Amino acid sequence: RSWLRSALCLFPLPLFDMKVCVVGGAGGIGQPLCMLVAMDPRVTELCVYDLTISAVPAEGVAADISHINTRCKVTSCAVDKDAKAVDVAETALTNCNLVLVPAGMPRKPGQDRKDLLDINCKIAFNVVQACAKFCPDAVVALIVNPVNSVVPAMNELWLKAGLSEKKIVGVTSLDCVRAEKFVHEMTGTPVDAINIPVVGGHAGTTILPLFSQCPAAKNIPA
């Protein structure tokens, strides 16, 4: 849920009647993310976007989520794996305020994040190129590894289109969630009272949780 909260915090409040598209919405991360989006009172339209080869059809995910008793209208868009989003995603992306992208190949055991760079950059490029055309004012939140490399690369694409670099972001609040749970388990402090800022990036050698900034964590031995 913190991923969605982080993305929605990019918008000034109150902002209602938002359209959101979740690219990769039928996947393991995409499905619960779509549910949380549909439950947010600021969202009036959600598009579940995924490939036709997805193990769970995007249409089925959209049908299930559409039963949630909120005002959010839920649609789906399933595209061929070889299709270019810029050719097929106009309906899904037009008028979007926020595009969440939990897409790409996951990291396998023993695999380095840089091994994913080539394939996942191509996936992100496909999506970001279409966003630049159909929803240039949207915030595009990338949950695509390796985030440290994918986000700057997509930022360059956004800039070449003459758009604001502030609209391309990487979602890494998972690092904060993990650090806060660690402190909770070590100290017994209520989770709601713990706030651990994390700097440095989203990679094993650069992630730096600032435990010293949290009173509850100051007494944890190094």
pLDDT in tens, 139-195: 999 998 888 889 999 999 999 999 998 999 998 888 999 999 999 999 999 999 999
**Could you list the active site residues?**
202
53-63 per-residue burial string, b: 16 or more CB within 10 A, e: under 16: ebeebbbebbe
Four-CA torsion 53, 167, 200, 28, nearest 10 degrees = -20
- At position 220, the amino acid (one-letter code) is I
- Alpha carbons 59 and 102: distance in angstroms, whole number: 17
62 contacts 76 by C-beta, under 8 angstroms: yes
pLDDT per residue rounded down to tens, the chain (222 residues) = 455 555 555 555 555 789 999 999 999 999 999 999 999 999 999 999 999 999 999 999 999 999 999 999 999 999 999 999 999 999 999 999 999 999 988 777 877 667 788 889 999 999 999 999 999 999 999 998 888 889 999 999 999 999 998 999 998 888 999 999 999 999 999 999 999 999 988 877 888 999 999 999 987 887
pTM score, two decimals?
Answer: 0.86
89 φ/ψ angles, rounded to the nearest 5 degrees: -105, 15
- Alpha carbons 222 and 219: distance in angstroms, whole number: 9
Residue 142: strand pairing partners: 101, 170
- Alpha carbons 20 and 39: distance in angstroms, whole number: 12
